[in-house]
Amino acid sequence: MQVTPNSQQQANNIASFRPLLEHGFGIGVLVEITANELVKQKRLVPVLPDWQAQQLPLSLIYPARLHMAQRTRLLSGIL
């Protein structure tokens, strides 16, 4: 089966994009932990379980401070 979308939506904030997916306005890519939770709650249904988005580079930018917040330090350690 081949499907050609007739529109495209973009968002730089998952909070504005997720409700569109939950209300059936198409398919989208979510962070795995978020998608799994929504599937478990029966709010979303996986449609392309074997497909994966390409990896994208990620940068962490934060203000130079003498005392970095612990959550920023933890995230920087993960990245």
pLDDT at 14 > cutoff 80: no
Residue 21 lies in a domain: yes
Distances (CA, A) of 26 to 53, 57, 70, 75: 16, 26, 38, 32
Q: What's the number of domains the chain is made of?
A: 1
Q: Which domain holds residue 27?
A: 6-50
Residue among 2, 20, 1 at smallest CA distance from 10:
20
Residue 68 lies in a domain: no
Residue 66 lies in a domain: no
Q: Please, which pLDDT band fits residue 35 given cuts at 50, 70 and 90?
A: very high
Helix/strand/coil percent split, the chain, to 5:
35, 0, 65
pLDDT at 42 > cutoff 90: yes
Residue 17 lies in a domain: yes
Contact by Cβ (8 Å): 38, 22:
yes
Q: What is the pLDDT of residue 62?
A: 83
Q: What is the pLDDT of residue 78?
A: 83
